[in-house]
Chains A and B, each alone.
Chain A
Amino acid sequence: MDLVFIQLLNGVQYGLLIFLAASGLTLIFGIMGVINLSHGSFYMLGAYGALTLTAFTGDIFLALLIGVPLAFVFGIVIEWLFIRHLYDRDHLQQVLLTFALILIFNEAQKLLWGSYPHSVPIPSYLQGGVKISALLTYPYYRIAVAAFCVALALLMVFVIQKTRVGRIIRAGESNREMVEALGIDSRLLFRFVFAAGVALAATAGIVAAPLESVYPGIGEPILIISFVVVVIGGIGSVKGAFIGAILIGVADALGKVYFPAFSSSVVYALMAAVLIARPGGLFGRAA
């Protein structure tokens, strides 16, 4: 029973982490109409950035403080260099270009950090964990990550509900063409949305770095799972991404307990079930 409880906690925490990556992905598609396969690479670069910045500053939270603005700027650069050429092109070309970006980022990662896995230390004040039973403890760092993700999700709710940018994003959720018709400078909006998406993915990568080892290809499972979350939640819907991410996180964690051999298939089966019932996702506009 304790194991199930721990896995449930892990599932929610994992779900919160995927939400950071998936929310960026869903916004980038919902508002800009771009399929961004390189989204997982930003998670990976975040994790490797955490490795270097933690070594430099000595603390993962300082790394976060420096890393997130860097990721935002990096997002602006990538949008300007590559992504902006994709707005008027079809899905096929978007898939192709962002797939090529993965090749480039992976090679860059190999050149800068090499092919071996690394680990990033948990800060000394978050060592140890909460005692759940005589045998099991739940690490403080995981609790801190979950709390951080919740705080960030609340911040996103605030931005989306209360600010001007948020209003535009909400308009884009329900109808992308509307945003263009409202006379908003879409170039600036797109650049902001893309950079914010990159920053979110990188944030997820940074805080996740101490949880597991940092290795080449770390972003790829996150990319795939984020797409599953976006499909379940409905394209463009941040609320859908949140609920989808928690669902997937929990399904994945419980799958590991009950169907260890097919744990990753549980997630896809869940997606298939949602699609049969609602082809446009839980909160999506009709597909």
Chain B
Amino acid sequence: MLARPRPIVIVVLLALLAYAVALPFFGGPFALKLASRIMIVGIFVISLDLLIGVTGMVSFGHALYFGLGAYSLYFISPASAAANGFAAIPFAILLAGVAALVVGSVAVLTKGFYFIMVTLAFGQMGFSLFFDTKIAGGTDGAYINVRPIFSLGSQQLLNFSDRTVFFYFCLAALVLSYLFLLWLVRTPFGRVLQGIHHNDARMSALGFNTYAYKLASYVIAAAIAGFAGVLFASIDGYVAPELLGWRESGLAIMMVVLGGAGTLYGPLLGAILYSVVEETLKSSTELSAFFSIFMNTATAKWLGGIVANSWSMALGFFLIAAVLAAPKGIAGFIEKFAGEAKSAKPREIKPSAQTHEPAKAMQLEVENLTRAFGGLVAVNGVSVKFPPNKVHGIIGPNGAGKTTFINVLSGTLKPTQGNIRLESEEIGGERPHNVARRGLGRSYQRTNVILPFTARENCALAAQAKFPSPFRFSNKWQRDEEDQAVENALRASGIAPERADIKASNLSHGEQRQLEIAMLIASGAKLLLLDEPLAGMGPEETGRVTALLRELSADHTIVLIEHDMDAIFAAADTLTVLVEGKLLAHGTPEEIRSNAAVREAYLGEWGQEAKQ
């Protein structure tokens, strides 16, 4: 999870802040304007980092909202008078936010490459809306004649025509935007966004409506970009369609990558570096001064002139070199220099007084369930009942349809036909997060935890999914209950306390499998669907986990797929045998072992040996 900035980062940021605060006292008007622009672009790119670095959505159309924010100032400004800043800024934020809600509702349906392309296309759509029509001057852009003034009644508070006032306003806006985003990503809401970044499917299986989360993050980022946009329009009082175009979006991505995605402060440094490099490359005198370090003055002057003349080509080569040499950006260097981060100390938890009483778990009933992929029927008319507080094993040869069966039960796949009832309520065809909310939790064949989070943070995410409205921005609400749930889950799943605050990527394979189960317990699921929880485990670990499953069945119903026959015959109360998508047999392990049909179709030699 994104940590608070390290001391060295705080020092760098404070030094920059001090420099900015002092700038109006020694910088000329040009420096002040350039610095204002960099800070505004800084707000824009950290909002993009919320999407790219935090939620993991690479948007190639973020300039759409920046541009809309800028245009909103033109729309709201009277022809030859100043707009009131108290109206202009909220209007820009609203316009960008609403546009993002409309665009996002479609764009967020897609992932990865498609999302990049779709956001790019929508950005271009916004661009052509202004470029091809006569709205706001069309191709030529439009002028805003008077800068905004903040006034209450007749009282004038701030006037953006004053460069220094505007400069400090931008500085304050940048600091507040940064602190806001830093706070946001560390709330329970932000924790889920980071979880989605690393594992969308898992978050959905835990009960989070990932679509809604991603859309919310998209809208918030857009609103902040709109805020940056309205400030940008106040610099020169000029707006043009290019502000919405893909080049602006591309430049913003570039600054995010240059600075280091996913750190929030990195993109800010990226914006500064990019602007400084751009300004330097454009100036032949500064370039000549730089080159004269390596060569004689005449050659340096000649070379400086050539490079400045084609500065954007030089910028291109600089960017290629930067991405190849430092894929993690400036922040990557800083983090490397500062060394491995210490994980935060866990909070003291008041032990709960109440004693633990076994709870009744949930019953799952499947009736005539069928799932076909085109002509291939992977699950074929299966009817079976899993009573509560028992361990139910599902076995069968490879390709028997076991994983498809579980995927249909958990909502990952829709049933072609048939009913699934959880405690007599129909859940067939519901989306995974809704199924999870009703108390059915699942794990995956391949270990599926959020690797950059610690074990405790993984469980906290799961615990958070238990409460109905997960759109939460408070760290305090439900905190004791959740911490308690996390503690119980860690203890019940047998993860050693000293391992709980280590990143999941540094845990052993067995520990990661245990963590999966811990997450399900923390999520409050009453029925656990486990896909090969014992896969890849040694005999000792297998013994520990089967004992754990027996213990868990005191408060949970457990349905698991397993290939380790010795383990599952020992651990399960009932066994269900699937062969070629059909139910072959269902019964106690003894019944299954002596079932002739099962022996013939599947168990074969193993059954014989086990019987002897």
Which A residues lie at the B interface, using CB under 8 A?
29, 35, 37, 82, 85, 89, 91-93, 95-97, 99-104, 106-108, 110-111, 220, 224, 227-228, 230-231, 235, 261-265, 268-269, 271-272, 275-276, 279-281, 287
Contacts and interface: CB of A to CB of B under 8 A. Distances in A.
A249 to B, nearest CB: 16
Given A82-B320, A91-B112, A103-B315, A96 B257 contact: yes
Given A91-B116, A95-B60, A280-B114, 5 more contacts: A96-B253, A97-B319, A97-B323, A103-B313, A272-B118
Contact of B117 (A93, A231, A261, A276): A231
A43 to B, nearest CB: 16
Contacts of A111: 310
B422 interface: no
B476 to A, nearest CB: 35
Contact of A268 (B116, B125, B261): B125
Contacts of A230: 117
Contact of B116 (A95, A102, A220): A95
Contacts of B117: 227-228, 230-231
Given A92-B253, A279-B109, A287-B110, A262 B327 contact: no
A276 B319 contact: no
Contacts of A263: 132
20 contacts: A91-B58, A91-B113, A91-B116, A92-B52, A92-B257, A95-B250, A97-B323, A97-B324, A99-B319, A104-B313, A107-B313, A261-B133, A265-B128, A268-B125, A272-B118, A275-B109, A275-B114, A279-B114, A287-B110, A287-B112
Contact of B124 (A29, A82, A268): A268
Interface of B: 52, 58, 60, 106, 109-114, 116-118, 120-122, 124-125, 128-129, 132-133, 246, 250, 253-254, 256-258, 261, 310, 312-313, 315-317, 319-320, 323-324, 327
Contacts of B316: 100-104, 107
A265 B125 contact: yes
A264 B312 contact: no
Contacts of A262: 129, 132-133
Given A230-B117, A231-B121, A268-B122, A275 B132 contact: no
A224 B124 contact: yes
A147 to B, nearest CB: 30
Contacts, number: 122
A100 B257 CA distance: 12
B271 to A, nearest CB: 14
B324 to A, nearest CB: 6
Interface SS majority for chain B: helix
Nearest to B132: A264
B113 A228 contact: no
B132 A96 contact: no
A203 B58 CA distance: 31
A95 B121 contact: no
A261 B132 contact: yes
B58 A100 contact: no
Contacts of B124: 224, 264, 268
Interface SS majority for chain A: helix
A93 B114 contact: no
Given A93-B257, A262-B129, A287-B110, A37 B121 contact: no
B121 A228 contact: yes
A230 B250 CA distance: 19
A280 to B, nearest CB: 7
Q: Give 7 closest A-B pairs by Cβ, nearest first.
A: A107-B313, A103-B316, A104-B316, A100-B319, A264-B128, A268-B125, A100-B316
B58 A227 contact: no
Contacts of B114: 231, 235, 275, 279-281, 287
B313 A275 contact: no
B121 A227 contact: yes
Contacts of B52: 92
A35 B323 contact: no
A262 B132 CA distance: 7
Nearest to A280: B114
B253 A95 contact: yes
Contacts of B257: 92-93, 95-96
Nearest to B124: A224
A100 B120 contact: no
Contacts of B246: 220, 224
A66 to B, nearest CB: 26
A101 B317 CA distance: 8
B121 A224 contact: yes
Nearest to B134: A261
B7 to A, nearest CB: 28
Contacts of A106: 312
A279 B111 CA distance: 9
A88 to B, nearest CB: 10
A281 B121 CA distance: 14
A177 to B, nearest CB: 15
A287 B116 CA distance: 12
A94 to B, nearest CB: 9
B312 A92 contact: no
A277 to B, nearest CB: 10
B113 A35 contact: yes
B312 A103 contact: yes
Nearest to A91: B58
B93 to A, nearest CB: 24
A271 to B, nearest CB: 6
B120 A96 contact: no
A95 to B, nearest CB: 6
Contact of A100 (B106, B129, B133, B323): B323
Given A99-B253, A99-B254, A93 B327 contact: yes
B129 A89 contact: no
Contacts of A89: 327
Contacts of B320: 82, 97, 100-101
B268 to A, nearest CB: 17
Contact of A37 (B112, B125, B250, B312): B250
Contacts of A268: 121-122, 124-125
A92 B313 contact: no
A274 B261 CA distance: 31
Contact of B120 (A104, A224, A280): A224
Contact of A104 (B110, B258, B317, B324): B317
Nearest to A272: B106
A91 B58 CA distance: 8
A25 to B, nearest CB: 10
B250 A276 contact: no
A279 B113 CA distance: 11
A99 to B, nearest CB: 5
Contacts of B106: 272, 275-276
A83 B257 CA distance: 18
Contacts of A110: 310
